[in-house]
């Protein structure tokens, strides 16, 4: 049965899921497949009354700025642990929602970056010690694709500034 997701009305109240699995690596070199999930801590704020700040058509961004005026936006970082039989190397296959989830941290967003983080390139293959990427073939090309996208965006902005 397919699950139909309703898009969030706010960046602050949405849930964010990793598509790809990673492996936790212990000091004894044991592997545990897992996926990350960000869940809003306070999703009770009503984003339905959005006061547009501009005519840019991006109401969710406007709502984010308004939301931050009332305090930080907070998310729990959860790890969903794979079980035997879960498909690790195919990002098109979801894991059952009943998998064990551990809360491993909290993120507080205090303000919006004035540069929208444009100088930074998200690369899901850059992981800290203790994590290892899965062998998902889609994951292997994402870093290069995102770098190329950023390069093209920056080149376009430079052309527009001339």
98 or 152, greater pLDDT: 98
pLDDT in tens, 7-32: 777 888 888 988 899 999 988 999 99
pLDDT in tens, 36-81: 999 999 766 555 454 555 566 678 888 888 889 989 999 999 999 9
pLDDT at 136: 92
Could you tell me the pTM of the whole model? 0.77
Phi, psi at residue 31, to the nearest 5°? -115, 140
Quote the strand ranges of the chain, DSSP E. 16-17, 22-25, 31-40, 73-81, 101-109, 131-133
Residue 132 scores a pLDDT above 80: yes
Closest to 48 (Cα-Cα) out of 36, 71, 66: 66
pLDDT in tens, 79-125: 999 999 999 999 999 899 899 999 999 999 999 888 877 777 778 88
Structural domains for the chain: 16-161 (2.40.180.10)
Tell me the residue length of the chain.
162
Cβ-based neighbour number of residue 108 at 10 Å? 10
d(CA 52, CA 157): 25
DSSP 85: T
């Amino acid at each position: 049965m397919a699950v139909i997701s309703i898009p969030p009305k706010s960046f602050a109240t949405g849930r964010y899921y990793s598509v790809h699995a990673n492996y936790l690596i212990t000091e004894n070199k044991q592997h545990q497949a897992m996926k990350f999930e960000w869940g809003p801590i306070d999703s009770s704020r009503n984003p339905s009354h959005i006061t547009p700040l501009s005519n840019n058509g991006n109401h969710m961004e406007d709502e984010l700025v308004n939301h931050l005026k009332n305090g930080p936006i907070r998310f729990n970082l959860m790890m969903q642990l794979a079980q035997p039989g879960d498909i690790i190397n195919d990002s098109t296959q979801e894991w059952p929602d009943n998998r064990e989830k551990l809360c491993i941290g909290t993120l507080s967003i205090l303000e919006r970056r004035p540069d929208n983080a444009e100088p930074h390139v998200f690369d899901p293959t850059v992981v800290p010690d203790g994590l290892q990427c899965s062998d998902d073939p889609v994951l292997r090309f994402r870093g290069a694709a995102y770098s190329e996208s950023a390069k093209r965006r920056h080149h376009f902005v430079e052309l527009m500034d001339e």
